[in-house]
Amino acid sequence: MSNPQEQTFTTAEVGRIAGYSTQQIRDLERLGAIPVAERAANGYRRYRPMHVAAAHAYRSLAAAVGPVPARRLMPRLLTGSLDDAAERIDGLHAALDAERARVRSARRGLDAVLAEPVTAFDERDVMTVGELAQALGVRASALRHWEDADLVRPRRHQHTGARQYGDRSIAEARIVASLREGGYPIPRIRQVLVQLREHGLTDHARELLDERLAALTARSLSLLAAASDLHALLTARSA
């Protein structure tokens, strides 16, 4: 039950404190990102410190993990048990750590491709779609999809029509696999492959992964900054 002596706020006041417009506060309430406000006798919304804490927590979470995940998480933080809330917050840190590990792994794989000396390719080393898929740790259907998206260009056997991957298509596939593992979408990877075909192997793909690592670091720092707001929310919930 609310403390009748507890300070109350108007919609505009909550917005001003939390850095949102009046409409944004109403939208957050409608989406369950902040609790439903009480209504005064005149019908106006009446917010309490809990609502202010929730608005601050949502803003911090949105900066760290994005608005959509933050909107999905906030109702659980507001209504679930404290154990569940703590577990979900720990999960955010774990997810960032796992994504960083994937990007670092992709970066190492890309470094290996870029560092390899250019040597004469032995035609006996041509790979089938199954062999290359196994070597890259992906499904054969992924290689076919990359071909459809013009990311990888295998040649076809003259008589059977079977896909054959030579030195260039193997290098392309390895770069695509690294960037996909790093979380990059097909259109962005296509830009890298265009540069590859026009200028040879360049550091552009490496720079993309470095940018992603920098973005993950920024998100980690934002999540650390959100800790005080999340603590204030859970404390207000328990009061």
- In this prediction, what percent of the chain has a pLDDT beyond 70? 90
Report phi then psi at 226, rounded to 5.
Answer: -75, -15
Packing angle, helices 129-136 and 140-148, rounded to 10: 110
- Tell me how far apart the alpha carbons of residues 101 and 107 are, in angstroms, rounded to a whole number: 10
Structural domains present in the chain: 11-79 (1.10.1660.10), 97-215 (1.10.1660.10)
- Tell me how far apart the alpha carbons of residues 138 and 140 are, in angstroms, rounded to a whole number: 7
For CA atoms 173, 179, 183, 189, the dihedral sign is negative
pLDDT value, residue 162: 86
Ramachandran region, residue 40 (left: φ > 0; alpha: ψ -120 to 50; beta: rest)? beta
- Tell me how far apart the alpha carbons of residues 178 and 110 are, in angstroms, rounded to a whole number: 6
Over residues 150-209, the pLDDT tens digits come to 888 888 888 888 888 887 788 888 888 888 877 788 988 888 778 777 766 567 777 877
pLDDT value, residue 1: 43
Residue 215's CB is within 10 A of a number of other CB atoms, namely 13
Over residues 87-143, the pLDDT tens digits come to 999 999 998 888 888 788 777 767 776 666 555 555 667 889 999 999 888 999 999
